[in-house]
A and B are shown apart, each in its own frame.
Chain A
């Protein structure tokens, strides 16, 4: 009587499956939501934005100025809008219609020809540093655009440093945000659709008044818990398949490593979320409380996992908290397997923390299942 009964587990499993199947709305939601979110965020989030509105203040239209402006536009970051006055530029920066104002001093080409090294002033709206970061960095490359038009003595001097640094943007040579975002987005989208479904699993029974009956029956906690989690693992894999197909077909996500490894990691990740959901569900007194607790878990998943902000940029204590969450490790596995083609041994250091989390939360879930109404 006190041991796990497969038959009782199967009975609850069958019941859960029937209930899931009849709840068309939720079923459609948990399939459609990830797809929608993937499209929405996949296209929307871009940390390397181009075509930023740039005001240009210039007195005359010399040959040198035209070269400079052409070079600015060729970086792809600047969309030039000619302005008539400095006041107009100030206004544009203030109201947000301009992110940059480029001010070329009068008699620019004459000053260049005389070798007076005139200063071009670039005002940038730095309220969002990440939005202008790459564009500003591109300015550095402009110093020698006039070289081919100038006599040798006026050309910019070669770098004084005795060595040169060459940066290769590996795995993502074009630094496309989408390649960074999509593997992480898969994880985040899965949290939404898996954590919440089981968060309501037990509280729903309580609120519908069916819990008292369930408790009065000869069921063991583990039988109920497992039966509530297993159907969603199956549904979770359906979600993963759809998401992966979209990520590859629409967003051009490369799959350089093993898909089987991706499936394993995501399977563990889904399980950890479902178990966390069930645990929340047993602790919360009602559905409202359960949702609040789930939201409480969501924010650190976004902020501390390395999804939105670079993990290495966080203070050590925040990194420690981030390490607890399975999403942090799954995210790394996804990026390394998909983008770098890493194998099982490479990602093992990220796999075991997820497994540990599952073990710990599983025990907590079964322990916190109240067997009485007290």
Chain B
């Protein structure tokens, strides 16, 4: 086995290790921090890790890019299908991330905070037991106009 082949084999392992590492790092960033933008960035890390994993699945040592010239492959090529899948997954991921950030902006607008736990508490207060009869829960009267708006659009 030549050095180049050994290196190519090792590259496959590095890809898998890197992919799993990115996914774990992303999971940590989604679970532990409370800042919404950090959570969204954690999601980005998970998606990148999964995409890298998918590319690694199609990796073969010493193979060329799957570009066929004149319909003929010159030597061994890496599996093109995972690459096509990753392309789709990246596009979907970008769309979802953009939507997530747009929602983060709206959440900051309406709740005035980017702390995920505070947002959850405010939501519980707004949709809680008191929304039909505000007089039972003083201080939560602001919940009612929002609820009316919601019913209006149902």
Indicate whether A and B interact: no
Question: Which chain B residues have a beta carbon within 8 Å of chain A's beta carbons?
Answer: none
